[in-house]
Chains A and B, each alone.
Chain A
């Protein structure tokens, strides 16, 4: 009765404390190391990461297949409803003048001639053209060709250019018309099990989403190049990683099918 309780000689003390400590250690090892790594497989880069995730420490969501965000924001453009207003004819006129320096690649009226592989700009929503010009200028979308050209454009220049191209009609290129390509499932339905949304959800002429280009009729080589750039993270100016999320699970074959389909439209 008089033996000291908190003493290494007291077996009640040593055994009970050791049992609780061992139990907690084993449970923690399973809960914080084994289970998170078993569940997310290669998603966890380090043991420390799996511990943090199991403890519930808030972290930015990152898909294991995607590289880190290079800049804090993928773009500096804030898309707003001002682009949905009525057409300003004066702006279109100014844009027509500025567009003279673009005609080498993008065609006189916004449709690139066959073989240049430059995207057509005719009929694109103004918010889309404007956003890309801004991103070229700021470096959010790297391009050896476009970056120097955009550097000297003022914000108003970019708005004018966007207004001009939105008013042009896309010309159907010889050789494209009449080729029928079946709608790929991934364009109409996506691939829900791989977390790929349907392309048509955003990229349909009737959807008219802000800063979303119409991709019908874009050169196939251009589409392939952009999807691969999104997939690898080389291009990262998509807001909320929308395109990177969609593209990272696509196979090369799917990219080819999609490019052929959209080029044929």
Chain B
């Protein structure tokens, strides 16, 4: 079913994604090294912020978006077992993403767009940076439309049937992204670009930040979707088990859709322009996002236990020993859950209005989102690539040892990178520092933590390199005749599901309604307030 041109399409998405990932990974490690006491200070903080901007933009916008897009296209053919409709549009989408990345990275490398990937108005970058980001987002919107169209085609051909879980989950990611990217799009188009293009010299920074928060949290759940799809639909099959509950999976994905959107103001807990009551409302719904996460942890652990018991494991914990630990997917899901556990615990602290005061804008935050995204999520991207690769290339992928070494290195590296960050974050080390004065007796004791993080980063670079090597070797493996690609089978086969869990109308309505309830007043109020703009601060001179 997996046609050759679709396979090329998916491979192209993955390779661009992994190339961007590796370049950004190198930049990240460079940042770690130059601010550590290991080498002399580079002397120019601007270079550091250039690198941070490129690292964040590539890792935040380009890499996960392309992985989600490529994986989504693969799911259409593999799960729906129908040819992908709109292939030409899919290529246009990819070209837009690549074009956008190049257009955005030119001003970044010239030092005219060191605004970090979160934009930070009143900082204003060269307009090309924002246009590039818009192109990336527009390219991904084509993917959203194609996912919706392909499901419609399938539903027409299969009236009344249950949508396969991988595609159902895939659509959750697509719709979530479509709605959450609106915030940053509005911010760029209506608030930032008029200033970047020179029509205005002031910007409403508070309103801009509220719009960005609209995007900033749910975007993480968009990054998360491919990992969660892999948890539910690849892991149980890959380790020889069964999915504990198909319906639980559907409920988790629709809960993500409803609850991950109207919570972004927890990123603005220390901002004065939003009222405390609104912040409380967002904190409550942020807590609700832990529900689908915990549901998933339960369901997947149960599915893994089924695998352990099928393999002859007995007793309360004997099934853990019986699990196929030589299997990269097994390793990946275990690492992912551990990193998710630490990251999630930190997230519950950030979510709390009071505790957040202690860690706001410290290195703790950097540690938190690296654990969640670069740890729990990206390690599953690796697993997805390993799982799909033979079906994409038609060749055997045999480097089991290298894969395991790669996953171990990533897991260890991520722990060594982020744990010191958490520690110094609690001690008050600010994030986004280009330079530490280690001669200051108050800072000197923290030098060791910066060195540790640099070492963790080095392990990650080695792991990233191994990852690319495994995939490259996969292209030169021997041709194999593979059995048909299968997703996980649930314990109880799904003949029919309630209409509410077979489509998105209800959940989209709740998502939009809740967004309006939680964001309506802050946005309306800030739009209506007069004299709230501040002078823009152009980066690298006037554009």
Q: Are B278 and A54 in contact (CB under 8 A)?
A: yes
Q: Are B277 and A35 in contact (CB under 8 A)?
A: yes
**Secondary structure dominating the interface of B:** helix
Min CB–CB distance A22 → chain B (angstroms) = 12
Q: Are B499 and A16 in contact (CB under 8 A)?
A: no
Interface string of A11-48 (1 = CB under 8 A from B): 01100110010011001101110011000000000000
Interface string of B263-277 (1 = CB under 8 A from A): 000000000011111
Min CB–CB distance B456 → chain A (angstroms) = 38
Q: Are A58 and B277 in contact (CB under 8 A)?
A: no
Which residues of A lie under 8 Å from residue B275 when comparing CB positions?
A: 53-57
A5: CB under 8 A from chain B?
A: yes
Which residues of A lie under 8 Å from residue B506 when comparing CB positions?
A: 5-6, 12-13, 16-17
Q: Are B499 and A5 in contact (CB under 8 A)?
A: yes
B160: CB under 8 A from chain A?
A: yes
Nearest CB in chain B to that of A35: its residue: B280
Given known pairs A1-B496, A17-B510, A56-B522, the reply for A31 and B277 (CB within 8 Å) is: yes
Most chain A beta carbons < 10 A, residue from B258, B273, B279, B280: B280
Which residues of B lie under 8 Å from residue A251 when comparing CB positions?
A: none
A89: CB under 8 A from chain B?
A: no
Given known pairs A5-B505, A16-B510, A54-B275, the reply for A31 and B281 (CB within 8 Å) is: yes
B514: CB under 8 A from chain A?
A: yes
Q: Are A3 and B499 in contact (CB under 8 A)?
A: yes
Which residues of B lie under 8 Å from residue A30 when comparing CB positions?
A: 280, 284
A10: CB under 8 A from chain B?
A: yes
Which residues of B lie under 8 Å from residue A20 when comparing CB positions?
A: 258, 510, 513-514
Q: Are B274 and A56 in contact (CB under 8 A)?
A: yes
Min CB–CB distance B319 → chain A (angstroms) = 34
CA distance A67 to B148 in the complex (A): 61
Selected from B278, B505, B514, the residue in CB contact (under 8 A) with A6 is B505
Most chain A beta carbons < 10 A, residue from B279, B496, B510: B510
B157: CB under 8 A from chain A?
A: no
Which residues of A lie under 8 Å from residue B510 when comparing CB positions?
A: 16-17, 20
CA distance A122 to B284 in the complex (A): 64
Q: Are B496 and A23 in contact (CB under 8 A)?
A: no
A214: CB under 8 A from chain B?
A: no
CA distance A3 to B496 in the complex (A): 12
A152: CB under 8 A from chain B?
A: no
CA distance A55 to B284 in the complex (A): 15
Q: Are B499 and A36 in contact (CB under 8 A)?
A: no
CA distance A30 to B285 in the complex (A): 13
Which residues of B lie under 8 Å from residue A31 when comparing CB positions?
A: 276-281, 284
A63: CB under 8 A from chain B?
A: no
Interface string of B341-375 (1 = CB under 8 A from A): 00000000000000000000000000000000000
Q: Are A10 and B281 in contact (CB under 8 A)?
A: no
Q: Are B280 and A55 in contact (CB under 8 A)?
A: no
B43: CB under 8 A from chain A?
A: no
Given known pairs A2-B160, A16-B510, A27-B284, the reply for A56 and B502 (CB within 8 Å) is: no
Q: Are A56 and B517 in contact (CB under 8 A)?
A: no
Nearest CB in chain B to that of A17: its residue: B510
CA distance A30 to B505 in the complex (A): 30
Q: Are A32 and B277 in contact (CB under 8 A)?
A: yes
**B284-308 interface with A by 8 A CB criterion:** 284-285, 288
CA distance A13 to B505 in the complex (A): 10
B521: CB under 8 A from chain A?
A: yes
Nearest CB in chain A to that of B258: its residue: A20
CA distance A54 to B498 in the complex (A): 40
A51: CB under 8 A from chain B?
A: yes
Min CB–CB distance A230 → chain B (angstroms) = 29
Q: Are A55 and B277 in contact (CB under 8 A)?
A: yes
Selected from A3, A27, A57, the residue in CB contact (under 8 A) with B525 is A57
Given known pairs A24-B517, A27-B284, the reply for A5 and B500 (CB within 8 Å) is: yes
CA distance A58 to B522 in the complex (A): 11
Which residues of B lie under 8 Å from residue A27 when comparing CB positions?
A: 280-281, 284-285
CA distance A30 to B506 in the complex (A): 27
Which residues of A lie under 8 Å from residue B284 when comparing CB positions?
A: 23, 27, 30-31
Q: Are B277 and A5 in contact (CB under 8 A)?
A: no
CA distance A54 to B275 in the complex (A): 5
B493: CB under 8 A from chain A?
A: no
Nearest CB in chain A to that of B513: its residue: A20
CA distance A64 to B498 in the complex (A): 56
Selected from A4, A10, A53, A55, the residue in CB contact (under 8 A) with B521 is A55
Q: Are A36 and B276 in contact (CB under 8 A)?
A: yes
Q: Are A16 and B500 in contact (CB under 8 A)?
A: yes
B501: CB under 8 A from chain A?
A: yes
Which residues of A lie under 8 Å from residue B324 when comparing CB positions?
A: none
Which residues of B lie under 8 Å from residue A24 when comparing CB positions?
A: 281, 514, 517-518
A interface, CB within 8 angstroms of B:
1-6, 10, 12-13, 16-17, 20, 23-24, 27-28, 30-32, 35-36, 51, 53-58
Known: A20-B514, A31-B284; 4 extra A-B contacts, CB below 8 A, are A3-B498, A31-B278, A32-B277, A56-B275
Q: Which 3 A-B pairs have the closest CB atoms?
A: A56-B275, A54-B277, A31-B280
18 A-B contact pairs sorted by A residue (CB < 8 Å):
A1-B160, A16-B500, A17-B510, A20-B510, A23-B285, A24-B518, A27-B280, A27-B284, A27-B285, A31-B276, A53-B275, A54-B278, A54-B280, A55-B278, A55-B525, A56-B275, A56-B521, A57-B525
